[in-house]
Amino acid sequence: MSYEVSPQFARRAFRRHNWRTWGGVHAGVLIAFVMGILGTVYGREAWVYGFLVGVGAAYGCVWWAISVSFKRASRALFGHQVTLQVEEDALRFSTDGVSSHIDWKTLASVWRYKDMWFLIGRYIDRPYAIPGHALSAEVRSMIERKVREAGGKIL
């Protein structure tokens, strides 16, 4: 099966993975940042509140830099056909002469959403996002079965 990686899909995948893995931290830092601003305006201990504002601003800058880096790196995939082969021994992704082989035992989990699936590796830093429309019912069930057989979770 084949699919094309669009900028919209890449952006949605980045945001969804980012929120699922770091959402609690994002929310906590945002709350601390807002408390810092309010405390600076209404509080007595300005240094504490200033520190919270600084932490929030630094955290926001780091995530902005990560987002820009992701966008730059993912541009290479835009407009290219990605071919996914689901086989008994592994998954294979290929595009324009470059291919990637992923053994089932290296996948820790599958995150299923209506519009995309994430394949999360045990030893891989980046998840593999696959558009939901590219996966037939047969392929979905095979991925689930093979990940479970390898000790992974279906979420």
Distance CA 73, CA 5 (A): 13
Residue 126 pLDDT level (bands cut at 50, 70, 90): confident
pLDDT, tens only, 69-116: 988 888 887 888 889 999 999 999 998 878 889 999 999 999 999 999
**Residue at token pair 């099966």:** 1
CATH number of 80-154: 2.30.29
92 DSSP β-pair partners: 85, 101
pLDDT at 52: 94
Q: Which pTM value belongs to this model?
A: 0.80
What the block records as the tokens of 50 is 């200033």
125 pLDDT higher than 80 = no
Q: Is 96 left (phi over 0), alpha (psi -120 to 50) or beta?
A: left
Sketch the domain layout of the chain as residue ranges: 7-76, 80-154
